[in-house]
Each structure stands twice: as C-alpha cells, then as structure tokens.
C-alpha cells in the first residue's frame, strides 16, 4: 500500500496509481456525480484525469487523492489540491468528487477540512480556493463549512458561471 498522504477520523487519503482507473470511472462516468461538468467522462477523459493527477504529484507535490473508508477499505471518492487558473491567476484549489451513494454523510466536508489544514500546515501554502458551479449548492456549502468565502463570480471556459471561494492562511 502506498504511504498515507493524510488521515481523518474515518478516512485515509492516498495517491491514485495506474491500477485505479476502474475506481475513477465508477464516479467520473456517473452523470449524477458529474452534472456540474455538464457531462460525465469518457474512458479517455478518465485516463487523462488519472495521468494528470499522477503528473501533479510529481510536478507540484500534490493532486487529487483517493478517499478510502478506514472501516470498509472502499474508495468513496477523491479530494485534494490542484493548481487552477482563474482569470489569468494561478491558485491551489481544493477539489472533491464523491460516489453518489456517499453524498450527504459529511465526507466531503471532513476531508476538505483535512486537506485545507494539510495545505496550510504541511505544504505551507498561503492561500487556497474552491471553485464551484454557481448552481452547485452542495459544493458551495462544503466550501463555506470549510471556512471559505466567495471572492468572485467568473465564467469558466468563457461560458459557464462559477464562484471562486477563497481562504488565506492566518496564524498557523
């Protein structure tokens, strides 16, 4: 087993590896999970997503990590940090996706908060963002519960309205 990136009361977060494509497909190809993207992912999209994360681990020292339930060893989704560009500026962003059977159980908030703390304390990042579709209330609630506030509304890909939630490191 790969070394644990971080741990919460109920979950461990590990890097994705080349053997994890089917786990990623189980939620990235689910239209309900990916509704905010306007489409679920193709097989090639999923492979590209996996490759992107594995490259991010090497290039940035972080990426999206698989979330594993400590009790059942089930992969329930992913959460982590990726570099994102918003209106020409680069920011480290906390992102998350969960399998739909694990929605509304506090999982995303628990792991997003742990990733936030890890980013500030261990990675010594000075700021973080969360990007959410302007109609994705569950995602916006996770951002708010994790201490983020709306900094701006912008058009992603020149057409899709999103909010950028922002949090600056303070006294850690």
pLDDT tens for each residue of 39-79: 889 999 999 999 999 999 999 999 999 999 999 999 999 99
pTM: 0.93
124 or 3: which carries more pLDDT confidence?
Answer: 124
Torsion of CA 31, 20, 69, 137, to 10 degrees: -30
- What pLDDT, on a 0 to 100 scale, did the predictor assign at position 56? 94
Tokens 């908060």, located at residue: 113
Whether CATH 3.40.630.30 fits 6-126: yes
DSSP 8-class letter at 105: S
Listed as own residue / partner, the contacts of 57-62 with beta carbons closer than 8 Å and 24 or more positions apart are: 57/15, 61/123, 62/92, 62/119, 62/123
Average pLDDT, the chain: 93
In terms of Cα–Cα distance, which of 170, 18, 34 is closest to 95? 34
Q: Are 119 and 63 in contact (CB under 8 A)?
A: no
- Helical pair 137-145 and 107-121, crossing angle rounded to 10 deg: 50
Is the pLDDT at 36 greater than 90? The verdict is no
């Amino acid at each position: 087993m790969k070394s644990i990136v971080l741990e919460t009361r109920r979950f461990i977060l590990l890097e994705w590896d080349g053997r994890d494509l089917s786990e990623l497909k189980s939620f990235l190809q689910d239209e309900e999970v990916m509704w905010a993207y306007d489409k679920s992912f193709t097989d090639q999209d999923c492979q590209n997503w996996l490759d992107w994360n594995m490259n991010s681990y090497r290039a940035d020292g972080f990426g999206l990590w698989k979330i594993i339930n400590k009790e059942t060893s089930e992969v329930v989704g992913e959460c982590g940090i990726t570099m994102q560009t918003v209106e020409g500026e680069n920011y480290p962003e906390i992102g998350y996706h969960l399998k739909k059977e694990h929605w509304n159980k506090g999982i995303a908030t628990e792991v997003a908060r742990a990733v936030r703390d890890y980013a500030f304390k261990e990675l010594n990042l000075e700021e973080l963002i969360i990007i959410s579709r302007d109609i994705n209330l569950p995602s916006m609630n996770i951002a708010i519960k994790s201490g983020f506030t709306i900094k701006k509304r912008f058009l992603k890909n020149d057409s899709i309205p999103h909010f950028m939630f922002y949090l600056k490191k303070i006294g850690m």
